[in-house]
């Protein structure tokens, strides 16, 4: 059965129309998630909503417990994760107010745990195509009433400060299309948890490379996010009808761990294995 998880970034703090909605606390072996998780049904499809920064935007990008967030959504039974985030544009034609369907990442973060695995249970998942084409296609269909760009590269920076002008120009020279602070390690952890993952980015500004636009201004960012929040909620509302029939992922997202764990069974750390009870249950129990 499909259960859609929505991770709301800056600008998306709620989901409209959830039937039987309630905020639930989810305990994880990785600590506390960003907030309680809103669960219910949307047009009959189970859904969970997690505000990435917490209600009231209390967590900075580097302080978000990404492992706890992904574990909690997996523990609740989510099969498909749709991540919504705010980004700056590194391209002239990606204008503030546009939506961007991300399919590649450049990870420039350095202060965040990036894996559920490690000493005592080593694993290497494939990540050449970091988003799920099936889920991304559904999101593309669900985005209406706003300009959508498909197939973009997201530069994930550490933050919380915005880029210098030199950095912004460097990232453009690398071929990055948008820049943000929260997609990593979120997408990597979703792959380790065998969850289909799609990334929808809402452009708020031109970062600081654009000579005809001022440097990033938080007031401008908030105004653009507020204007686009309705489009984001409408997108989420259309997803259940596009994802109601659940089958094995044809791109292998839900079997990412099949050949990933390298540590011999008799050398695996029992304490780490106990923390992987939700994330890696399929392969560890098998």
CA distances for 107 relative to 20, 101, 112, 141, 205, angstroms = 38, 17, 11, 27, 20
Number of domains in the chain: 1
In the block, tokens 């219910």 appear at 40
d(CA 169, CA 219) in angstroms, rounded, equals 23
Question: Could you tell me which of 77, 102, 24 has the C-alpha nearest to residue 246?
Answer: 77
Instruction: Please report the pLDDT score of residue 101 as a whole number.
Output: 98
Helices (H) and strands (E) in the chain — how many of each?
Answer: 7, 9
- The model's pTM is 0.95
* Residues 242-267: tens digit of each pLDDT: 997 778 899 999 999 999 999 999 99
Instruction: Please report the pLDDT score of residue 255 as a whole number.
Output: 97
Instruction: Please report the pLDDT score of residue 217 as a whole number.
Output: 65
Query: Are β-strands 37-42 and 45-51 bridged in parallel, bridged antiparallel, or unpaired?
Result: antiparallel
* Residues 207-225: tens digit of each pLDDT: 988 876 666 566 777 777 7
Binding site residues for substrate, as ranges? 181, 205-207
* Residues 150-178: tens digit of each pLDDT: 999 999 999 999 999 999 999 999 999 99
Q: 219 Cβ partners below 8 Å, 6+ apart?
A: none
Q: Show the low-confidence residues of the chain (pLDDT under 50).
A: none
Instruction: Please report the pLDDT score of residue 131 as a whole number.
Output: 98
- Give the number of other CB atoms < 10 A from CB of residue 242: 18
d(CA 232, CA 224) in angstroms, rounded, equals 12
- Taking each helix axis from N to C terminus, what angle separates 133-142 and 218-243, rounded to the nearest 10 degrees? 110
Binding site residues, as ranges? 10, 52-53, 85-86, 181-182, 205-207
Confirm whether 205 is a catalytic residue: yes
Q: Which of 205, 244, 254, 266 is catalytic?
A: 205
Confirm whether 244 is a catalytic residue: no
Whether the CB-CB separation of 193 and 257 falls below 8 Å is answered with: no
CATH assignment of the domain containing 124: 3.40.50.1580
Q: Which of 71, 107, 207, 254 is catalytic?
A: 207
- The whole domain housing 94 covers 4-285
Dihedral pair phi/psi, residue 134, rounded to 5°: -65, -50
Binding site residues for phosphate, as ranges? 10, 52-53, 85-86, 182
Instruction: Please report the pLDDT score of residue 90 as a whole number.
Output: 97
């Amino acid at each position: 059965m499909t259960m859609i998880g929505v991770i709301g970034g800056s600008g998306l703090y709620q989901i409209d129309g959830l039937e039987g909605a309630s905020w639930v606390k989810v305990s994880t072996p990785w600590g506390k998630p960003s907030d309680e998780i809103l669960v219910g049904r949307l047009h009959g499809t189970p859904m969970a909503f997690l505000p990435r920064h917490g209600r009231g935007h209390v967590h900075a990008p580097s302080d978000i417990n990404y492992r706890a967030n992904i574990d909690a959504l997996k523990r609740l039974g989510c099969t498909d994760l749709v991540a919504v985030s705010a980004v700056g544009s590194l391209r002239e034609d990606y204008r503030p107010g546009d939506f961007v369907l991300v399919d590649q990442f450049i990870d420039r973060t350095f202060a965040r745990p990036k894996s559920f695995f490690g000493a005592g249970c080593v694993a290497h998942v494939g990540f050449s195509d970091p988003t799920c084409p099936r889920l991304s296609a559904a999101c593309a269909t669900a985005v209406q009433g706003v300009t959508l760009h498909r197939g973009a590269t997201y530069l994930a920076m550490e933050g919380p400060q915005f880029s210098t002008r030199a950095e912004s120009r460097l990232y453009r020279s690398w071929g990055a299309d948008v820049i943000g602070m929260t997609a990593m390690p979120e997408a990597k952890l979703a792959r380790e948890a065998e969850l289909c993952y799609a990334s929808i980015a809402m452009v708020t500004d031109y970062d600081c490379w654009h000579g005809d636009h001022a440097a990033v201004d938080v007031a401008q960012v908030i105004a653009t996010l507020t204007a686009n929040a309705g489009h984001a909620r409408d997108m989420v509302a259309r997803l259940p009808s596009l994802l109601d029939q659940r089958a094995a992922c044809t791109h292998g997202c839900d079997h990412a761990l099949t050949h990933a764990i390298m540590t011999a069974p008799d050398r695996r750390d029992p304490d780490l294995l106990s923390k992987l009870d939700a994330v890696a249950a399929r392969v560890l129990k098998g």
